């Protein structure tokens, strides 16, 4: 059962579901479904533009300069009054404002900006590109002078600044180290016109800085407007999820499963090593789902009594993860989980494996490894069929033919459009909601044909004898 606590502009409702009966083990795994619902509190439906600092950076080759000028003119002409902003051009040099580091949007300023962005420079042909590290460092320098509640970079790039593209996966690379410096200082979206870019660094920037990476036509102004519209709905730029565990819990992991799939990194708090903090970002009125997995040693715990293994806290609201160890070998301990909690947790686990396989398949296809791509995309299709995730089937059909969905058999044709693969990688990263199973329908109770005990209308296993219904 969830409780509600108020934040500035948000009311938080928290619920935690897990199977109450668990089999004891020296390394027992306990999965819990954590759902956080945020509702708007207060009269405003958008945060004031004066609370936002925006850096709009455009990094395109010379062949796209004219289209970029037109799109940029439209984008700055639509900025809301009061927003602080800076426009950067080729080489991460400042294009607007003409004096000072920040402009403040109003009708006269927008008119000046719409004219002035015509001087934006494209990436210089024959010169080493600035690289994504340079753009990020420049934005970080600017945001240090504008300590507003919401600080956001929109990077429009066609891959002209690709100096760091091979470094995206290495933790000691210049790009990774700069992302570490930027995290917590500002958030970022990436808009990618064309299809000549390497998706790896763009995805790395969007994921690490808690934004979105999307492909776009050269007329990118609507994509900028969408990013800004989403930004103005943000009621809380950061919201930590705290997990406090018992001493016998050796490991705790938290994976966001909807609206995006991402593993959150734990930060132990200094005053209590058993308190872990997982930071989440850009909260608007919405619902998010998480899979909390605990590894616990049940060796010294009593059997048959309720035990609180962990407490989850969000915005002053706390819910407990409570289990009861049952003697090994008993029917209830060996039966699979049924009911709403069991269905939700099963779906979340399948969804995590499915999204990982889909990402792996697209990455393999981008690298030209067709055999691995077929294997991983086939697994994604099989799992998607199991939980009715039709959007995964649509993504796979962009690059392959589905021969047998339930068995996960797909075939990749002799030619695949590299642009479709790269756009698909960004589409997957941008997130698709995971639909959890609906509540069990009302209906007459069932009776187990083996022990004649009653069971709920949606039960799959008998909780008394453990046999399948």
pLDDT, tens digit, for every residue of 320-343?
999 988 876 654 444 444 455 667
Q: Is residue 321 left, alpha or beta, with left meaning phi > 0 and alpha meaning psi from -120 to 50?
A: beta
Most confident stretch, 119-128, 298-307, 338-347: 298-307
One DSSP character per residue, 278-331 reads EEEEEE-SEEEEEEEEEEE--TTSPSSSEEEEEEEEETTEEEEEEEEE--TT-H
Report the range of poorest mean pLDDT among 18-27, 116-125, 257-266.
116-125
* Predicted TM-score of the model (pTM): 0.75
Encoded tokens for 29: 């795994």
Find out whether 290 and 299 touch, Cβ atoms under 8 Å. Answer: no
Per-residue confidence (pLDDT) for residue 357, from 0 to 100: 92
Torsion of Cα atoms, 87 then 90 then 91 then 96, to 10° = -20
Per-residue confidence (pLDDT) for residue 378, from 0 to 100: 94
Q: How many CB atoms lie within 10 A of CB 210?
A: 21
Q: How far apart are CA 371 and CA 369, in angstroms?
A: 6
Per-residue confidence (pLDDT) for residue 36, from 0 to 100: 94
| 243 pLDDT higher than 50 | yes
More confident residue, 133 or 169: 133
| 195 pLDDT higher than 90 | no
Confidence of residue 436 (pLDDT cuts 50, 70, 90): very low
Instruction: Give the angle 223-227-232 at the CA atoms, nearest 5°.
Output: 145
DSSP class of residue 438?
A: P
Per-residue confidence (pLDDT) for residue 89, from 0 to 100: 87
Which residue, 58, 77, 12, 29, is CA-closest to 288? Answer: 12
More confident residue, 40 or 244: 244
Judge residue 237's burial from the number of C-beta atoms within 10 Å of its C-beta, 0-12 exposed, 13-18 middle, 19 or more buried.
Answer: buried
Find out whether 54 and 366 touch, Cβ atoms under 8 Å. Answer: no
N residues, the chain: 469
Confidence of residue 455 (pLDDT cuts 50, 70, 90): low
Q: Can you say whether the dihedral through the CA atoms of 333, 335, 338, 342 is positive or negative?
A: positive
How much of the chain exceeds pLDDT 70, in percent? 83
Per-residue confidence (pLDDT) for residue 91, from 0 to 100: 76
Per-residue confidence (pLDDT) for residue 258, from 0 to 100: 82
Which long-range CB contacts under 8 A does 223-230 form with residues at least 24 apart? 223/191, 224/56, 224/71, 224/75, 224/154, 224/156, 224/191, 225/75, 225/78, 227/152, 227/154, 227/189, 227/191, 228/54, 228/79, 228/80, 228/154, 230/282, 230/284
Helix (H) or strand (E) holding 73: helix 65-77
User: What CA–CA distances, in Å, run from 286 to 173, 204, 236, 279?
Assistant: 35, 24, 12, 17
Pairing type for strands 28-40 and 266-269 reads unpaired
Q: Region 352-358: what's the mean pLDDT?
A: 89
One DSSP character per residue, 367-385 reads TT-HHHHHHHHHHHHHHHH
Per-residue confidence (pLDDT) for residue 142, from 0 to 100: 96
Per-residue confidence (pLDDT) for residue 331, from 0 to 100: 46
Pairing type for strands 317-325 and 21-22 reads parallel
Find out whether 337 and 19 touch, Cβ atoms under 8 Å. Answer: yes
Per-residue confidence (pLDDT) for residue 462, from 0 to 100: 54
């Amino acid at each position: 059962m969830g409780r509600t606590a108020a934040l500035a502009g948000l009311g938080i409702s928290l619920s935690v579901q897990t199977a109450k009966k668990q089999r004891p083990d020296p390394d027992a795994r306990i999965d819990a479904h954590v759902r956080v619902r945020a509702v708007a509190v207060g009269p405003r439906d958008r945060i004031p533009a004066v609370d936002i600092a925006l850096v709009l950076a455009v990094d395109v080759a010379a062949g796209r300069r004219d289209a970029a000028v037109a799109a940029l003119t439209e984008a700055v002409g639509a900025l809301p009054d009061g927003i602080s902003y800076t426009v950067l051009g080729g080489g991460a040099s400042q294009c607007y404002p003409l004096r000072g580091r920040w402009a403040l949007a109003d009708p006269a300023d927008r008119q000046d900006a719409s004219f002035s962005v015509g001087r934006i420079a494209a990436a210089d042909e024959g010169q080493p590109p600035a690289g994504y590290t340079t753009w990020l460092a420049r934005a970080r320098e600017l945001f240090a002078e504008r300590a507003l509640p919401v600080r956001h970079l929109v990077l429009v790039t066609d891959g002209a600044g690709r100096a760091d593209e091979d470094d995206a996966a290495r933790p000691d690379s210049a790009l990774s180290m700069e992302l570490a410096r930027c995290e917590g200082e500002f958030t970022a979206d990436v808009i990618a016109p064309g299809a000549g870019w390497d998706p790896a660094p763009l995805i790395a920037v969007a994921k690490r800085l808690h934004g979105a990476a999307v492909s776009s036509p050269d007329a990118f102004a609507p994509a900028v407007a969408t990013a800004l519209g989403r930004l103005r709905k943000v009621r809380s730029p950061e919201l930590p999820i705290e997990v406090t565990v018992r001493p016998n819990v050796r490991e705790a992991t938290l994976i966001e499963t909807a609206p995006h799939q991402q593993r959150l990194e734990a930060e132990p708090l200094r005053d209590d090593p058993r308190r872990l903090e997982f930071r989440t970002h850009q909260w608007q009125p919405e619902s998010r789902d998480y899979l909390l997995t605990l590894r616990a040693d049940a060796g010294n715990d009593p059997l048959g009594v309720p035990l609180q293994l962990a407490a989850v806290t969000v915005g002053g609201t706390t819910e407990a993860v409570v289990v009861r160890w049952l003697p090994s070998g008993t029917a209830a301990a060996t039966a699979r989980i049924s009911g709403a909690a069991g269905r939700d947790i099963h779906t979340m686990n399948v969804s995590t494996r499915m999204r990982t396989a889909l990402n792996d398949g697209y990455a393999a296809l981008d690298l030209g490894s067709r055999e691995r791509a077929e294997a991983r995309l086939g697994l994604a299709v099989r799992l998607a069929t199991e939980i009715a995730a039709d959007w995964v089937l649509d993504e796979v059909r962009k690059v392959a033919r589905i021969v047998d969905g339930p068995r996960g058999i797909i075939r990749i044709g002799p030619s695949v459009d590299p642009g479709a693969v790269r756009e698909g990688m960004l589409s997957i990263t941008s997130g698709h909601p995971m639909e959890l199973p609906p509540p069990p329908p009302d209906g007459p109770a069932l009776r187990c044909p083996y022990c004649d005990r009653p069971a709920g209308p949606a039960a799959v296993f008998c909780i008394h004898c453990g046999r399948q219904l």
